[in-house]
Structure formats: structure tokens, C-alpha cells
Amino acid sequence: MGQVSPARTPVPLRAGSGHSGGMRVAVLSDIHGHLPALDAALADVAGAGVDRIVVTGDIAAGPMPVPVLERLLGLGDQVVWVRGNGDRELYEPTPDPPDPVVPWAAAQLTDALRAHLAGLPLTVTLDLDGLGPTLFCHATPRNDTEVALVDSALSRWAEVLADRPEQTVVLGHTHMPFARLANRTLVVNPGSVGMPYGLSGAHWAVLGPGVELRRSPYDMEAACAVLRTGGYPGIEEWLDAYVRQTYGDDEALAVFGPRDGRQG
């Protein structure tokens, strides 16, 4: 079980790629400023034998934005970053934020952290062992807010992946882990580290040479105690919504489903 730790979590990576054709990576998505969940995942990533950690957006929009960013920045070039809509909303405020924690988190950032988020790419492509060129994005390769789900129609996947040559695409955004084929493209969502829908715990994935969906359980009450130290005024409501309970995948699909263009 991953442990909640106030200290920087060391993540020993492989000294070299002792395989042909690419690297092996851990994918962490939708951390949402949840430091204890990130630490639980990183503790398990340390034993996964990966070359890099790819973070696919919505990293800091939550109750501990600065500690989460500092934890990941402390890992240096071990981390490959991709921007999510939650990251963009921290440096480009919207008049109608999706959650009250977002403007609060934005106000906690230093200019340097804000500039770091503003400089993140929408997509990254890496050559993975056994999978070849693999595209990483947050929502879809086209933008950071579109919705495509495990049960979206093949026509929807054809639309959002149009003109992409990669045969493996990794995305986050909807907080539900899955791996499926869509028009001969392997699509993987690692689920959410900090705000999962479905099962509790910190969800993440390992890619190369295959796909492994993983989950790191952690002590929820210990996590709540750490999250309270972040100073977010609405922390108890946030803990009730996202830590003490986990929304079901059926509930999430009911909310997100109409946003993928499906009929009915």
C-alpha cells in the first residue's frame, strides 16, 4: 500500500533501457492538488521499473496545489508534463469556475509556478516499448475539454482522433480507468490519482510493453489530516465530496455521457 508522506518521495528509475524499441512509463492523471494520493502513487511507481513518469493534466487544481507541483518539479526530468483544462484555468481564470477550489488554488501559485503551467504542451508523443509512438493528452488531442468515454461510439472516437497517426493514445479528464480499442487505436485512460470515479485509491497506469491499470490504496483519514494543512477554507466539503466517498462510474457516465455527442 502506498504511504502518505510529508517528505519528497524518491522515484528510482531504470538506469537504462535494457530493451529495444522504446521506454516504459508510468502515467499519472488528474491529481487535482491531492498530495497524499500523489505520494501513494509515487511510492508504488518507485517499484514499477519505469523510465519516465508522464503526468497528463489537471495536476494542481485542488487543496494542495503548490506542494503537488513542487513534489513533481523535484523529480526533474523524470517527469513529462501535459496540460489539462484544470491547469489552464489556474493561469487563465474563467468567469464561471467549475469548482470553488479552482480560484483559491490559482491564488496560491507563485509567478514561476503559473509560468510553468502556462508553458505545458497540449500533447506529447513518446516511443514506448511494445507500443511504438504513443500520444499523451488530457482530454483529446484537439483540446483540453472534450469528452470521450469508455462507452463512446466509434464515430466519436474517429472524430476526436482524426488525423492522428499514433496507434496508442493515452488520455485522462474523465477520471475513470479503461483500456479499449477504437477503430484499431488502443485508447488508455489511467483514471484519476486524486479524484477517482469508480474505486477509491490513487489510480495510475504503466505502459510498455503492454498496458497495466494500477491502483494505490492509502489511509483516507491520514490523507484528510494532511489535506487540511493546505489551508483551503472549504476543505471539509472537498473531503466529503472527493475523499470520504467515491462517486460511482455509473454516476460519472450519466454526467459525462451527454457531453460526448451521443443521442438520447
CA–CA dist 161, 148 (Å, integer): 10
Tell me the pTM.
0.92
Distances (CA, A) of 128 to 11, 52, 115, 238: 19, 11, 29, 37
Rounded CA separation 80/74 (Å): 13
pLDDT tens, per residue, the chain with 264 residues: 444 444 444 566 654 444 446 899 999 999 999 999 999 999 999 999 999 999 999 999 999 999 999 999 999 999 999 999 999 999 998 888 878 999 999 999 999 999 999 999 999 999 999 999 999 999 999 999 999 999 999 999 999 999 999 999 999 999 999 999 999 999 999 999 999 999 999 999 999 999 999 999 999 999 999 999 999 999 999 999 999 999 999 999 998 899 998 875
Domains of the chain: 25-260 (3.60.21.10)
> Do residues 192 and 203 make contact, with C-beta atoms less than 8 angstroms apart?
yes
Q: Angle, to 10 degrees, between the axis of helix 111-118 and the axis of helix 65-73? A: 70
